Structure 1
């Protein structure tokens, strides 16, 4: 009787879900304890907003080096190193008192988290078949969006019993523990993992989209000449610009413009993140299902991404014009939820386009995304101050429409190494 394939790859994908939860709780818990932290350290809103932007700047700047290093050293080493680095700087956030040191710590925290997604892209390329990569990408992404759903509950509990500094100490310690576990259980390729049986290995290899496991250098001269490479990056600039607006400014918007109380706001602000968690999970399944049924990746990835962006445009318009605060939250939840399809397809397309060099391609995409995340807190705060929240939200429709157009040029069916572009 033939042995069934093991499913070690999906166990490791689930562990990436856990890493994503920890990473985004580390990232978002500072906004939840903003008030006591600002009061204790004497920070004003501009200074506090700068902490979010400095994190994104550090995160953006490390993307391309992180992608190159992930391809060279493998996801096992890179994820372990990144987890330890960002966990140390998470702990230091609760320790330092000087404003200058705090800015430096959050910048270096961003650098520490930066390798997470490029290394995950390399892992997905090495471990998953072509018709599994969207679901594999969903695991880390789902963890990332589940983090902001549960962060308010966990963070507030720790703060109430142990103080705001303890939030950073505890999460820092958890991150280092997770790094040790990852080092023990992970390997760079299924071929060298002792728990992967021959049946699973054969199943992966027959559908894997890498030619070999040699550590070649990414051909950046080819990539930078490709309009598809630029289209993938620029559309992700828009996507993370919007998502960061929700992460940084949604609670303030609901309090100031929609009249929610503090307790009701906490619940309302978590609903859009629940929505994107659902669409990230279902989007990966839908995209891979279409690939398995023989549809092109232009349909399975690009069209699904465009559908998400179109739903965003319609929902944002309805969110702005609605009078009811609760209907506003509903439409905003659909807005953020619709971007889950685009996010999943972005990461799956990065591995499709990059193949052996998916770390570099995903790093390029995430560089642009986090430049958008750097700009978002500053520009949206300025727009809200000058023109009000409705205009700030309404203006997001313009770049989202541009992102939908850009997806027509991504064309993920062929690798970027195929240089025959018209």
Structure 2
């Protein structure tokens, strides 16, 4: 009888997949229509990059408060509020008529998306068992990275039919719909859900790592005094710096460096995101399988992350030296795909390191990650204008090599706070 249980937690994880899908489509469609937007607002690449940096700045500022609020009030309301907020500002992107207003809108849009990942981390902490954390983290991440796979196709179709303004109206409306779905079906904890079976509830409660009596506020003094806490954030700074390079500049790179049309550049730019979608999905499952088989979390999380970083460094070098567009696309696809492993293992490690404080730990990690995302459009836009795209790609290898050594100091087997 114990095998006849519902899989409600995985259906709710699928809703988070949809949330991530919508969020990253909302985030990436501005890059797909960059050329007509830059023309209408008379922007150069540095100014366009600054818009994306303002988004990341808002996103980063929201991370730590979002983690604290998610721990205190739960993920249901926080995530729903975040989706509603960013959908409003997705629509406002089309309404803006000056560069200054557009910058303010993108900043507030970033604040709106900020609670998504800390809220998901708190949700996963309560809804999933210790050997399911990698797969649970994969759901939102996979949706996020599948968004840029299909965003170019949908965005270009909408743009060709009605212009770039319509892109933001359509995506904002979709966001409102998903907000309602989540709020109606989601709950903070499995104990609160009226549709969960007794068997599934018992299974979750037996093997989740969170303490039954959750403390109200994370012990930030102890966290900040722990060097691993800082290293954990800094390695994600590097990861999202590189991911944002792909998110913001890849379509433009293909148009300028490889002389592709808007449609062809959109298709080519979607392939690396398909690769990272696959590695995020498989990486979480592989990492969980290793933990279940008795491997240390350093091997299951850190080993997988380091392997992905090494593959990135090699393939990015080859991409920058490719003589044909086809080989360039292939190596860039492998490069971003390899980053899926450190991405998904970072979020699984946030649950391992934080336990009941996973909202705070993940918020801290994503705060640093989005500081990297803030700098990436500015630095890469400036580098591409100053030294060219080939050297911009090569420059990205340096921080990745540093990140490899940082992973050796994270030690995800040991929680940051011991009760």
Normalised to the residue count of structure 1, the TM-score between the two structures is 0.96
Please give the per-residue CA displacement for 1:109-168, whole angstroms capped at 9, x wherever unaligned. 000000000000000001000110110110100100111011111112222222322211
Aligned equivalent of 2:171: 171
In 1, Cα distance between equivalents of 2:241 and 2:29: 19
- Secondary structure (helix, strand or coil) at the match of 2:149 reads helix
**Contact 1:126–1:208 (CA under 8 A) maintained in structure 2:** yes
**Deviation (angstroms), 1:56:** 0.4
**Deviation (angstroms), 1:263:** 3.4
**Contact 2:86–2:110 (CA under 8 A) maintained in structure 1:** yes
1:238-277 counterparts in 2 under 5 A? 238-277=238-277
1:124-139 counterparts in 2 under 5 A? 124-139=124-139
Aligned equivalent of 1:107: 107
Aligned equivalent of 1:26: 26
1:321-360 counterparts in 2 under 5 A? 321-360=321-360
Change (3 A) 1:286 1:150: same
In 1, Cα distance between equivalents of 2:289 and 2:71: 28
Aligned equivalent of 1:234: 234
In 1, Cα distance between equivalents of 2:402 and 2:333: 21
**Deviation (angstroms), 1:106:** 0.7
Aligned equivalent of 2:120: 120
**Contact 1:17–1:142 (CA under 8 A) maintained in structure 2:** yes
Counterpart check, 1:76 vs 2:42: no
- Secondary structure (helix, strand or coil) at the match of 2:130 reads coil
In 1, Cα distance between equivalents of 2:397 and 2:160: 39
Q: Which stretch of structure 1 is more off in the superposition, 376-385 or 261-270? A: 261-270
**Deviation (angstroms), 1:255:** 2.3
Change (3 A) 1:2 1:405: closer
**Contact 1:353–1:361 (CA under 8 A) maintained in structure 2:** yes
1:203-218 counterparts in 2 under 5 A? 203-218=203-218
Q: Which stretch of structure 1 is more off in the superposition, 299-308 or 252-261? A: 252-261
**Contact 1:301–1:412 (CA under 8 A) maintained in structure 2:** yes
Change (3 A) 1:169 1:215: farther
In 1, Cα distance between equivalents of 2:85 and 2:215: 25
Change (3 A) 1:265 1:167: closer
Aligned equivalent of 1:372: 372
**Contact 1:72–1:215 (CA under 8 A) maintained in structure 2:** no
Q: Which stretch of structure 1 is more off in the superposition, 294-303 or 315-324? A: 315-324
**Deviation (angstroms), 1:226:** 0.9
**Deviation (angstroms), 1:213:** 4.7
In 2, Cα distance between equivalents of 1:164 and 1:259: 22
Change (3 A) 1:114 1:2: closer
Number of matched pairs? 419
Please give the per-residue CA displacement for 1:87-121, whole angstroms capped at 9, x wherever unaligned. 11111111121222111111000000000000000
Change (3 A) 1:205 1:2: closer
Please give the per-residue CA displacement for 1:148-189, whole angstroms capped at 9, x wherever unaligned. 011111112222222322211121121112111111101100
**Contact 1:304–1:341 (CA under 8 A) maintained in structure 2:** yes
**Deviation (angstroms), 1:2:** 4.8
In 2, Cα distance between equivalents of 1:263 and 1:87: 26
- Secondary structure (helix, strand or coil) at the match of 1:294 reads coil
**Contact 2:46–2:382 (CA under 8 A) maintained in structure 1:** no
Change (3 A) 1:3 1:402: closer
Aligned equivalent of 1:196: 196
In 2, Cα distance between equivalents of 1:260 and 1:174: 30
In 2, Cα distance between equivalents of 1:77 and 1:213: 21
In 2, Cα distance between equivalents of 1:233 and 1:2: 40
**Contact 2:241–2:375 (CA under 8 A) maintained in structure 1:** yes
Aligned equivalent of 1:221: 221
Counterpart check, 1:92 vs 2:96: no
**Contact 2:24–2:144 (CA under 8 A) maintained in structure 1:** yes
Q: Which stretch of structure 1 is more off in the superposition, 56-65 or 319-328? A: 319-328
Please give the per-residue CA displacement for 1:4-51, whole angstroms capped at 9, x wherever unaligned. 121000000000000011001111111112233333334343332221
Change (3 A) 1:28 1:2: closer
Q: Please, which runs of 5 or more residues in structure 2 have no aligned partner?
A: none
Please give the per-residue CA displacement for 1:231-258, whole angstroms capped at 9, x wherever unaligned. 1100000000001111111122222223
